[in-house]
Amino acid sequence: MILEESRGAAPRWGSSAPLGLAENGFSTRWDARQLQAAYAAIPGSFAHTSRFSTKNRERIITARVRDALHACMARVMQNHKCPATLINSVEDHMHILFELARTGSVSDLVEEVKKASSKWMKSQGAEYGNFAWQAGYGAFAVSESNVPMVREYIVDQREHHRTKSFQEEYRGFLERHGIAFDERYVWD
């Protein structure tokens, strides 16, 4: 089962130029009034996607625990005011589409999700006693116009991984988006 929650209407931005930009496009000095107005115009949250693997890409996320694992992660995210809109996984990695609260930190959120879900997994029986997530993770902002495409991509994970491993998929994603990476640090 894929965990998916419905969202309200997308936030609307005003049609005027962003505050703090001069006509030439260079930023001007912001005073307290401008900052307050600018922050008031920012939506309360922003769409992000995160993906991370089990340690050593161990194929341990089985059907027996998958749905409850997704629910565990969703609860942690909700408690941090960063609701998951979609969580899906295959045996060796997770994909999460979520709203990052304006005051939230991706690193803190992912750390808490991984910590709580790892603890939960270890409580599910002896076969999960050594469960761990990889040390790192990937997280990317998603523009509102790309949310439907990212959602479809996450939903179709089983199909994607019939022909590509997590490493092939992730490497391709980074290359496609021009994100420099060092193989020594990406996989754990």
Tell me the CATH number at 151.
3.30.70.1290
Number of separate domains in the chain? 1
Q: Is residue 25 a part of any domain in this protein?
A: no
pLDDT surpassing 60 at residue 43:
no
pLDDT at 126: 95
Range of the domain at 64: 46-179
Tell me which residue of 80, 71, 16 sits closest to 48, measured CA to CA. Answer: 80
pLDDT at 20: 37
Q: Which residue has the tokens 């609307």?
A: 12
Q: pTM for this one?
A: 0.72
Q: Return the number of other C-beta atoms located less than 10 Å from residue 181's C-beta.
A: 12
- Sign of the C-alpha dihedral computed for residues 57, 151, 140 and 160 taken in this order: positive
pLDDT at 7: 45
Q: Is residue 30 a part of any domain in this protein?
A: no
pLDDT at 41: 47
Q: What is the mean pLDDT of residues 159-188?
A: 82
pLDDT surpassing 70 at residue 177:
yes
pLDDT surpassing 60 at residue 145:
yes
Q: Is residue 188 a part of any domain in this protein?
A: no
Dmax over CA atoms of the chain, in Å, equals 64
Q: Is residue 94 a part of any domain in this protein?
A: yes
Of 36-50, 66-80, 160-174, give the range with the top mean pLDDT.
Answer: 66-80
Q: Is residue 149 a part of any domain in this protein?
A: yes
Rg (CA), the chain: 19
Query: What would the pLDDT profile of 61-105 be if each residue is shown by its tens digit?
Result: 999 999 999 999 999 999 999 999 999 999 999 999 999 988 889
3-state secondary structure of 141: strand
Query: What would the pLDDT profile of 115-143 be if each residue is shown by its tens digit?
Result: 999 999 999 999 999 999 999 898 888 98
Beta bridge partners of 95: 51, 88
Q: Is residue 118 a part of any domain in this protein?
A: yes
Residues 6+ apart with CB under 8 A from 153: 95, 160
Q: Is residue 111 a part of any domain in this protein?
A: yes
Q: Is residue 127 a part of any domain in this protein?
A: yes
